[in-house]
Amino acid sequence: MSVAVSSKLNKTVRERYLKLPQEGRVQVTYVWIDGTGEGLRCKTRTLEYEPKTVQDIPEWNYDGSSTFQSEGSNSDMFLIPCRMFRDPFILDPNKLVLCEVLKYNRKPAESNLRQRCKEAMDKAISSHPWFGLEQEYTLLGIDGHPYGWPPNGFPGPQGPYYCGVGADKTFGRDIVEAHYKACLYAGVKISGSNAEVMPSQWEFQVGPCEGIEMGDHLWMARYILHRTCEDFGVVATFDPKPITGNWNGAGCHANFSTEAMRKEGGLQHIEEAIDKLSKRHQYHICVYDPKGGKDNSRRLTGLHETSSIHDFSAGIANRGASIRIPREVGQDGCGYFEDRRPAANCDPYAVTDVLVRTCILNETGNELNCCTQ
């Protein structure tokens, strides 16, 4: 198994330096989404004070020509702090700050979908939209081979791995547990984790979050996962179908509700929302992965606990449907529904934005011109 060389450095030596006093100064690491719409970047600066709120952190800039976001002749991009977390890697009082990216003209970069999402959330604030996202991912060696798989072959077929226990059934639990604790320390609203159906595939859940905080918390959880994996010398991929053949893909199922859905009689509101979603299926598919449905087309085949990318479906306790109504929701007559279509590499701002626009704001257009073939 090929692991990153940086993971072989002596971590005990590093701990010695982390214990040195900072003389009242604070390291703030700015985190942002690059021009791919999937990759994360970061850089760190020193502040002479500990910020108490995100408003205490100044704007910054960076070279967008090195992040697929601008040309070298006009490369400066603005970093606008939008949510602050504790830093689980170099500890208090140091901070992580998730940032929006603005272009030279102060307009959002093409990969900055947060502003549009925030507009929708502000319009829908009286409905109190809640989200919970289930982020699946796969652990790889830096050679791209799934972590823990035989070097020149495959493990046994799927069956014993989901929520599995035992060295022959789970690979990489140390990473999963480290990531979970790091998220709790940071203040990310992580709510659970489990081993998934394909060996070396895992899932963590974030939420419930209301409005724009869903996207903020999931992006920071992804950053923390990548940083945790650095220490262990492996790679986390959000590819929706990292291994072809008879293996499960990776999604980011979106659990969604409004205040009306959560109250008595809410099932009627859930069914009304599902009807709206059925009329906008193709548009949602376009939004649910960064490549307009092309990545997801490898996953949403109608097999391996997925619906077909071409058809809309819904059902109670049906994991082969586009929309699943949990059994207890059907019994209680209120609660939430699960949209199983978003790909693992989706932008959570885009997913939560379109759910609100379709289900609450009653938008009906299909603005995107994309192909899923």
Q: What is the mean predicted confidence (pLDDT) over 275-280?
A: 98
Length of the chain: 373
How far is it, in rounded angstroms, from Cα 313 to Cα 278? 8
Residue 131 pLDDT more than 70? yes
Q: What is the pLDDT of residue 368?
A: 54
Are the C-beta atoms of 6 and 230 separated by less than 8 Å? Answer: yes
Measured over all CA atoms, what is the biggest interatomic distance in the chain, rounded to whole angstroms? Answer: 61
Can you identify the CATH homologous superfamily of domain 5-111? Answer: Glutamine synthetase, N-terminal domain (3.10.20.70)
Q: What is the mean predicted confidence (pLDDT) over 351-363?
A: 98
pLDDT above 70 as % of the chain: 97
> Alpha carbon of 163 to those of 143, 169, 170, 171, 203: distances in Å?
26, 9, 8, 12, 10
Closest alpha carbon to 50 in 12, 97, 114: 97
How far is it, in rounded angstroms, from Cα 19 to Cα 224? 21
Closest alpha carbon to 225 in 267, 186, 279, 176: 176
Q: What values do phi and psi take at 41, rounded to 5?
A: -125, 160
Are the C-beta atoms of 176 and 193 separated by less than 8 Å? Answer: yes
Tens digit of pLDDT for each residue in 64-107? 999 999 877 778 999 999 999 999 999 999 999 999 999 999 99
The residue type found at 181 is K
The pLDDT confidence band at residue 152, using thresholds 50, 70 and 90, is confident
Tens digit of pLDDT for each residue in 190-221? 999 999 999 999 999 999 999 999 999 999 99
Q: What is the mean predicted confidence (pLDDT) over 220-245?
A: 97
How far is it, in rounded angstroms, from Cα 170 to Cα 352? 31
Tens digit of pLDDT for each residue in 306-340? 999 999 999 999 989 999 999 999 999 999 999 99
| Bridge partners, 192 (sequence order) | 205
Domain(s) of CATH 3.10.20.70: residues in the chain: 5-111
- Specify the CATH number for 121-359; select among 3.30.70.580, 3.30.590.10, 3.40.190.10, 3.40.1160.10: 3.30.590.10
Are the C-beta atoms of 83 and 220 separated by less than 8 Å? Answer: yes
Q: What is the pLDDT of residue 7?
A: 86
Closest alpha carbon to 356 in 278, 252, 237, 273: 273
How far is it, in rounded angstroms, from Cα 120 to Cα 346? 18
Locate 224 and state its tokens: 């923390």
CB count, 10 Å around CB of 14? 10
Residue 296 pLDDT more than 60? yes
How far is it, in rounded angstroms, from Cα 42 to Cα 349? 19
Residue 366 pLDDT more than 90? no
HEC string for the chain: CCCCHHHHCCHHHHHHHHCCCCCCCEEEEEEEECCCCCCEEEEEEEECCCCCCHHHCCCEEEEHHHCCCCCHHHCEEEEEEEEEEECCCCCCCCEEEEEEEECCCCCECCCCCHHHHHHHHHHCHHHCCEEEEEEEEEEECCCCCECCCCCCCCCCCCCCCCCCCCCCCCCCHHHHHHHHHHHHHHCCCEEEEEECCCCCEEEEEEEEEECCHHHHHHHHHHHHHHHHHHHHCCEEECCCCCCCCCCCCCEEEEEEECHHHHCCCHHHHHHHHHHHHHCCHHHHHHHCCCCCCCCHHHCCECCCCCCECCCCCEEECCCCCCEEECHHHHHHCCCCEEECCCECCCCHHHHHHHHHHHHCCCCCCCCCCCCCC
CB count, 10 Å around CB of 67? 20
Question: How high does pLDDT run on average in the chain?
Answer: 95
| Bridge partners, 80 (sequence order) | 100
Model pTM score: 0.96
Q: What is the pLDDT of residue 373?
A: 39
Domain(s) of CATH 3.30.590.10: residues in the chain: 121-359
Are the C-beta atoms of 261 and 129 separated by less than 8 Å? Answer: no
The pLDDT confidence band at residue 371, using thresholds 50, 70 and 90, is very low
Tens digit of pLDDT for each residue in 24-38? 999 999 999 999 999
